[in-house]
Amino acid sequence: MKTTLTVCAVQQPCNQDRQANFDYSVAKIYEASANNADLVVLPELHLDPYFCQNEDYRHFDLAQSIPGPTTEFLMGLAKKLGIVIVSTIFEKRAAGLYHNTAVVFDKDGSLAGKYRKMHIPDDPGFYEKYYFTPGDIGFKPIETSIGKLGVLICWDQWFPEAARLMSLAGTEMLIYPTAIGWDPEDNDDERQRQLNAWITIQRSHAIANGLPVIACNRIGFEKAPDSDKGIQFWGNSFIAGPQGEILTTANENDAQLLTCTLDKTRTERVRQIWPYLRDRRIDEYGNLIKRYID
């Protein structure tokens, strides 16, 4: 298995129709392949505009099965290009049962595995609990030809427990497909605080677990249905190393393909120097399974 990997994150707009959004994603996968990438990560729910801004049963028509038309196409593309692809799909598991699901395709065209989003938000403009059942697969890395990938999705990125459990299960990198943005009514100071928090929490997962992190967001304004309001997706996708150092980053406005090299031997060395897993006091962490300690 290779000790150095070329990895890519696609920062793209998703505010057009499904075919246009998908064509853009596919074009960026080809571009990543031309850069000799081993891995390319797409933003959360990159096929469609962010439909969770309101609660509308008609949006369930956007869901598809796994395997299904999108996964079949991406399996063929992964094999054709010899690249590992991480996509996120609105999964129809059964009538009335839907998930926000990351799917990983290996270089041989196989479906390496999937992860169903565990933490589901329910906030103004992000009404995901209406659409998505919390995941039931757990925090399990997905085995691929380039190593074990710890794929989590958006709201999962705020929870240190999720990153730690992926780390304890042997993941070699943390991957966060994301759809996050500002309320346009927020002032500049509040926007900066939110963005800084988003970057900081994910860099902290890199540091606390000694693992690289790939955070991949969408960009652009997406108007809410039947409203003049909407979400300004803030981009700022980035890839960080195992000490939280920023290796490459995007801005808030532009479609970009982030590309960098990850060195597995360096990750191992960092974990030897900062042995957090060795020094964890697992005998004293029992209360972590409680909602709150009264």
- What's residue 184's pLDDT? 87
154 is catalytic: yes
Catalytic residue (one of 117, 128, 172, 216): 117
Mean pLDDT for the stretch of residues 70-95: 98
Mean pLDDT for the stretch of residues 15-43: 97
CA–CA separation, 108 vs 130, rounded Å? 36
- Please name which of 98, 179, 175, 180 lies closest in space to residue 139, comparing C-alpha atoms: 175
Q: In terms of DSSP bridges, do strands 230-234 and 181-182 run parallel, antiparallel, or are they unpaired?
A: antiparallel
> Do the beta carbons of residue 245 and residue 260 sit within 8 Å?
no
Bridge partners for 49 per DSSP: none
Domain ranges of the chain: 4-289
Q: In whole numbers, what is the pLDDT of the chain averaged over residues? A: 97
Q: Does residue 131 surpass a pLDDT of 90? A: yes
- What's residue 226's pLDDT? 79
Mean pLDDT for the stretch of residues 29-54: 97
117 is catalytic: yes
Q: Does residue 136 surpass a pLDDT of 90? A: yes
- State the number of CA atoms in the 13 A half-sphere of 24 facing the CB: 20
AA letter at 69: P
Does pTM surpass 0.75? Answer: yes
Mean pLDDT for the stretch of residues 259-281: 97
Catalytic residue (one of 8, 14, 28, 44): 44
Q: Does residue 172 surpass a pLDDT of 90? A: yes
Mean pLDDT for the stretch of residues 39-51: 98
Catalytic residue (one of 14, 52, 154, 260): 154
pLDDT tens digits, 212-231: 999 999 999 999 987 889 99
pLDDT tens digits, 49-64: 999 999 999 999 999 9
Confidence of residue 1 (pLDDT cuts 50, 70, 90): confident
Bridge partners for 178 per DSSP: none
Please give the share of the chain, as a percent, with pLDDT higher than 70. Answer: 100
What topology is assigned to 4-289 in CATH? Nitrilase/N-carbamoyl-D-aminoacid amidohydrolase (3.60.110)
